[in-house]
Amino acid sequence: MTRIITITSGKGGVGKTTITANLGTALAQLGKKVALIDADFGLRNLDLLLGLENRIVYTIIEAIAGECTIEKALVKDKRQPNLVLLPAAQNRNKEAVSPEQMKEIVDRISANFDYAIVDCPAGIELGFRNAIVAATEAIIVTTPEMAAVRDADRVIGLLEAEGIEKISLIVNRLRPEMVQLDRTIGVEDILDILRIPVIGIVPEDERVIVSTNRGEPLVLDERPSLPGMAFKNIARRIEGDDLPFLDLMASYDNLFTRIRRLFKA
């Protein structure tokens, strides 16, 4: 059965689109057939993160209106034959699509894939409803900030009210040095508030931003990086593997001792 996963948060700018692009690519690397669906109308940046913006001819709007077939609207990724993107409309009214239309199109697409992953807009208005209407499960993304955690909490309530029971959490942009110095809430505190299972913790890392700007998801980079490993591990956990979490504090401690040693030398 196809798994339709919505990536959501409530608050904007916490890393939903980044995570959608990296998890989709990582699942495709595991041999799964993946359709990424951009439900963030007006912004349309999932295509940029995937480096597919120049290959877009049709969008979800034309597919819904029947102006093109669904197959024609799906943009294929040259680097990842298992991955396709259904682009969002640009400069179109957000009200142009209804939840019923969205559900129909996502259900039709997902029939041919192992995973359909829907990138959600910020907020909890129509765009949010469109992004969750077809979902069978959800991944909530939060950063270690109270404002983001509070919005995540609210969204969890809304998802449960919609009957989406399988909900897991990604804590993104964790800065071990801030946790160490007690300058931010830690993962334990976040779990105490949200009480949903955590499926991944991704450190703050500028390589994520560089890869975003380049239109190449970090998981495609062969050079090892902690965030790249974190994304790949999440994909494997989605697939059901029971993997230990990366010790982000340990890597920070090592760096810290290395720097100290440098200064002593």
Minimum separation from the CB atom of position 212 to ligand ADP (A): 4
What the block records as the tokens of 159 is 């998802």
Task: Please choose, from the candidates 152, 162, 170, the residue with its C-alpha nearest in 3D space to the C-alpha of residue 130.
Answer: 162
Cα distance between residue 212 and residue 222, in whole Å = 16
Minimum separation from the CB atom of position 231 to ligand ADP (A): 9
Q: Which of 17, 25, 59, 80 binds ligand ADP (CB under 6 A)?
A: 17
User: Across-strand partners of 180?
Assistant: none
3-state secondary structure 77-99: CCCCCCEEEECCCCCCCHHHCCH
Enumerate residues 148-177 that contact ligand ADP by CB under 6 A: 172-173
The structure tokens 């359709």 sit at 35
**Binding letters toward Mg ion, positions 3-22, x by CB under 5 A:** -------------xx-----
Task: From residue 147, give the alpha-carbon distance in Å to each of 13, 151, 185.
Answer: 12, 6, 11
Q: Which does 15 bind (CB under 5 to 8 A by kind): ligand ADP, Mg ion, none?
A: ligand ADP
CA-only gyration radius of the chain, Å: 18
**Binding letters toward Mg ion, positions 17-56, x by CB under 5 A:** x---------------------------------------
Enumerate residues 226-245 that contact ligand ADP by CB under 6 A: 227
Q: Which of 209, 250, 255, 259 binds ligand ADP (CB under 6 A)?
A: 209
Q: Which does 208 bind (CB under 5 to 8 A by kind): Mg ion, ligand ADP, none?
A: ligand ADP
